[in-house]
Amino acid sequence: MPKIKLTKSELKKQRDDLKQFSRFLPTLQLKKQQLQMELLRCKEEMKKVKLKEEELKKNISSWFELFGSDESCSFLIESVKMNSITTKRANIAGVDVPVFEKAEFSVTPYSLFATSPWIDNGIDIIQQIVSCRAELFVIQEQFNLISKELRVTTQRVNLFEKVKIPECLENVRVIQIYLGDQQTAAVGRSKMAKRKMQQAAENEVAI
């Protein structure tokens, strides 16, 4: 703990700091709770998207069985290309994060007569699977940004709660004790000086 001045002005400063820290702490604690809730939301969203992807994979497996050849399956997978991911920005508990909107695809042209009739449906499912993975990527980025902000906020909460506020309280206590002792000593000195003056006055009268 740094050395403090044992003065009235320092006492006022410590009280002002204490008031400021005590006012900011509830706001930081609330933000910490909000960030923790947002992390839980991210986890739930990732879980839902993963379940959706698993269901789509089960569907595509049934399509692969219908295609009946590895060549058809390879063509299906290779014909779909993701060009871009469209996101928007959102402010979540004070953190600027990306929010998934959609994935853009291009499909290699193919002959409707030379390919299996299930190709269209297969391509649609492949796009949905890749879109799920793109969405997971964006949600994971959200999670990382919110986690980083939560670490910083938690550090600030701990700093105020466990260091700054107790430090100010202790400084106020120490200064108050010192000033109280000084005041008591000053009163004692004043009384002693008064007694000496009275004694001197009495001695002069006696003479």
CATH number, domain of 126, equals 1.10.287
**Residue 67: partners with Cβ closer than 8 Å, 6 or more residues away:** 73, 76, 116, 118, 122
Q: Is residue 111 part of a domain?
A: yes
Share of the chain above pLDDT 90, in %: 57
Q: Is residue 36 part of a domain?
A: yes
Q: Is residue 55 part of a domain?
A: yes
Residue type, 69: S
Q: Is residue 187 part of a domain?
A: no
Q: Is residue 149 part of a domain?
A: yes
Identify whether the C-beta of residue 125 lies closer than 8 Å to the C-beta of residue 67.
no
Residue type, 56: L
Share of the chain above pLDDT 70, in %: 77
Q: Is residue 110 part of a domain?
A: yes
Binned at pLDDT 50, 70 and 90, residue 71 comes out as low
Phi, psi values for residue 182, rounded to 5°? -65, -40
- 115: pLDDT strictly greater than 80: no
Predicted confidence (pLDDT) per residue in 13-65, tens digit: 999 999 999 999 999 999 999 999 999 999 999 999 999 999 998 877 766 66
pLDDT, residue 30, reads 95
Q: How many domains would you assign to the chain?
A: 1
Q: Say what the pTM is.
A: 0.78
Domain that holds residue 117: 23-162
| SS3 call for 120 | helix
For range 75-96, the mean pLDDT: 88
- 200: pLDDT strictly greater than 70: no
Q: Is residue 92 part of a domain?
A: yes
Q: Is residue 100 part of a domain?
A: yes
Does 88 or 186 have the greater pLDDT score? 88
Identify whether the C-beta of residue 183 lies closer than 8 Å to the C-beta of residue 11.
no
